[in-house]
Structure 1
């Protein structure tokens, strides 16, 4: 099942190391089947607060996303970002094709009794 690495980049300030990180990141996830879905695009906050930027990378599955994250190639460049940008990053699995949210709603109702 497709998995996603989602980053919320906050307090971004241009820096040469960040440019190097951006230049090199693609080559770190390509061997794991990763590809950008969102990168450097504008977003519109519909509710709440979301300062900063969003990055989303898709992987064929969560195992490959974790292998990318743990890979020497990615770990080598991660400090280029983390020294200059406050970031929250999660890896999350997508839902199966045909997912019906009513099933989740019913499970919640069952838990509530």
Structure 2
């Protein structure tokens, strides 16, 4: 009986806010994903490839992070191409921030900073 009462209460809250329950579900599905972009210039490949890089994937898993681009060859069209380019997709901005601020990733940041100069930012965009 409690779940029925909660269901009725949820509908009542949605009506009071002027939002249809179905629209609320659609809005949650259509929430923008977050894409962490890293532009890196590596000056200590040994530290980067042996101490930092292999440890990153395990830190992403609890936050749903997925590599879309991780290194690879860049074809420069205009301006200057970076030495390394990474894009990590998260289901939400909050998940991306939680990953970056996590104790697991915070331990790796000094290794990345020791081995490279990096620019990191998060861009929100549509989900697939």
Work out whether 1:62 is the aligned partner of 2:79.
no
Match of 2:84 among 30, 53, 70: 53
The total of aligned residue pairs comes to 97
Root-mean-square deviation (Å): 1.6
Separation (CA, whole Å) in 2 of partners of 1:28 and 1:11: 21
Distance 1:4 1:34 in 2: 9
| Contact residue 42 and residue 48 of structure 2 kept, 8 A | no
Q: Assess if the C-alpha contact under 8 Å between 1:12 and 1:52 holds in 2.
A: no
Q: Distance in 2 between matches of 1:78 and 1:24?
A: 11
SS in 2 for 1:83: helix
**Greater Rg over alpha carbons, structure:** 2
Question: In proportion to residue count, which structure has more helix?
Answer: 2
Partners of 2:127 and 2:100 in 1: CA distance: 23
TM-score by length of 1: 0.78
Unaligned runs of 5+ in 2: 1-31
Q: 1:77 aligns with which of 98, 108, 117?
A: 108
- 1:21 CA displacement: 1.1
Q: CA deviation at 1:8?
A: 0.3
Partner Cα separation in structure 2 for residue 61 and residue 12 of structure 1: 32
Change (3 A) 1:43 1:17: closer
Q: With structure 2 as the length reference, what TM-score do the two structures score? A: 0.70
Would you say 1:87 and 2:87 are equivalent positions? no
What residue ranges of structure 1 are gaps of 5+ in the alignment?
Answer: 98-113
Structure-2 change in CA distance of 1:73 and 1:11 (3 Å): closer
Q: Extract structure 1 runs of 4+ deviating beyond 6 A.
A: none
